Amino acid sequence: MGIPEHLIDTVYLGDVMDLMRQLPDQSVDMVFSDPDYNVGVKYNGRSYTRAFEEYIEWYIELARESLRVLKDDGNMFFINYPKQNAYLRVRFLDEACYDVQDYVWIYNTNVGHSPKRFTTAHRSILHCRKTAQNKFFKEQVAQPYQNPTDRRIRQRLAQGQKGRMPYSWFYFDLVKNVSREKTFHSCQIPQKLSEMLILSCTQPGDVVLVHFGGSGAELEVCRRLGRRFLAAEIDPTYHALILERLRSGRIREEFRLIKRTVSPESLSLQPALWSE
């Protein structure tokens, strides 16, 4: 049994757990998860912060259900602060998955400085392999060799190699208020980062489950790369804005300022997906 067709290439208005319960076992090729980090950030005026232990229990259930719907050759990525991901890994993922790797996304920041400790300027990305047979496509994310004139590098290039495998740390700038891809949403992942992760383990036509629709950035990447997607968004205003972004293929200027209030009723809710 496959994924219900009405859930593919659109955004489910509601809780992501409710969405996943509608999916059959082993039905998605990749899971991309960038949840609320439980640090007090407000989304459209609402905070989802809860007691830490309650948050970790929720995080584990999110991962457990994700593992159920993931194909045996699939991959999951969880982006969060290091402490939250450490708890998720030790309490669940290390036992449930064939392999878990902890990558580091680093960035410059001008917030969060403290006189008592070093400034946090990185996030954890847990890469979870369900089995040893996971798909991974080095050639799709290979980085150019730094010394292309070196004899050994020339030989590799002559053999068709495109570059070296990225290391386990990645530098990408934060999506700041002045960034071209910045929208109304309080927290966005750079599209270059999500694109790299999606390219690393999927092919055109594969299905990517994006837990949280947010600004629609990851869905836009999926569509541009020819991947099919499923996503959930619990906030009606964000949901409407995502559909508008997908319908029009761009971020309308009035959606770039976080402080602006946009009514869902003022937007078209019919996304023109896969029309090209």
Helix (H/G/I), strand (E/B), else coil: 71: strand
Contact 157, 144 (CB under 8 A): no
pLDDT of residue 251: 62
pLDDT of residue 82: 97
Contact 6, 273 (CB under 8 A): no
Tokens 């996943």 — which residue? 20
pLDDT reading at 259 higher than 50: no
Could you read off the pLDDT of 142-177 as tens digits, one per residue? Answer: 888 877 778 887 788 777 777 788 899 999 988 765
Strand partners, 143: 164
For domain 5-266, give the CATH number: 3.40.50.150
d(CA 138, CA 199): 9
Sign of torsion over alpha carbons 245, 211, 5, 133: positive
Q: How many helices (H) and strands (E) does the chain have?
A: 9, 10
State the helix-helix crossing angle for 236-248 and 217-225, rounded to 10 degrees: 30
State the helix-helix crossing angle for 191-201 and 217-225, rounded to 10 degrees: 40
Q: Which of 133 and 48 is assigned the larger pLDDT?
A: 133
Contact 232, 12 (CB under 8 A): yes
Average pLDDT over residues 119-129: 96
Q: What is the DSSP letter of 36?
A: -
Could you read off the pLDDT of 168-217 as tens digits, one per residue? Answer: 999 998 876 566 666 655 678 899 999 999 999 999 999 999 999 988 99
d(CA 113, CA 117): 8
Could you read off the pLDDT of 30-76 as tens digits, one per residue? Answer: 999 999 999 988 887 788 899 999 999 999 999 999 999 999 999 99
Most distant pair of Cα atoms in the chain: their distance: 62
Q: Would you kindly state where each structural domain of the chain is located, as residue ranges?
A: 5-266
